[in-house]
Each structure stands twice: as structure tokens, then as C-alpha cells.
Amino acid sequence: MKLSDTTLMLFHDGELDAERARRVRAGRLVDPSVGARLEALAELGDAVRAWALRRDTRGGELGRFCSRALRRDDAPGRGDR
């Protein structure tokens, strides 16, 4: 089952609608890499938050970084639909 990084990030943050969240939960049951990717996203989130605290950012630089990353993930051919 192909799930984009964006979908997994939204799932991790509790921001998916019920149907897409169900697809992610089903994906975890049939594909161990989905769970591993969710764990990696959790670790990445922890690292980004620690970086932001060290840099004392208030969302400016961090927000620009995250926006660029999300745009790359949403490029054609990278989605899960």
C-alpha cells in the first residue's frame, strides 16, 4: 500500500479524515514499513522541535523549511491516491 509522507504526517498529527485514517491503520497491518515510517516521522518531529528550541525560532525559519518539505512531498507521482 502506497502512502505519501504527507498522509503519514497528517495521520501522526491526528489531522486526517476518518476514511484516510482508516487506510493508514490498514496499511500498518499489511505493511510493516508504514509503522516504521510513522516511527521515523515521530523521531523527525522530536528532532525538529529540539532544533527549533536551540535556534529559538518562532516559526519563521522553521515554517519556511516545513513548507518547502511539504511542497516536495506533494509533487506529482508522490501521492497515495
The confidence score (pLDDT) of residue 55 equals 73
The confidence score (pLDDT) of residue 22 equals 96
Domain boundaries, the chain: 5-73
- Going from the C-alpha of 79 to that of each of 19, 31, 71, 74, 75, the distances in angstroms are 16, 17, 11, 6, 7
- For the stretch 26-61, pLDDT in tens is 999 999 999 999 999 889 888 888 887 777 656 556
pTM of the model: 0.61
- Mean pLDDT (the chain) is 79
User: What is the C-alpha separation between 38 and 43, in angstroms, rounded?
Assistant: 9
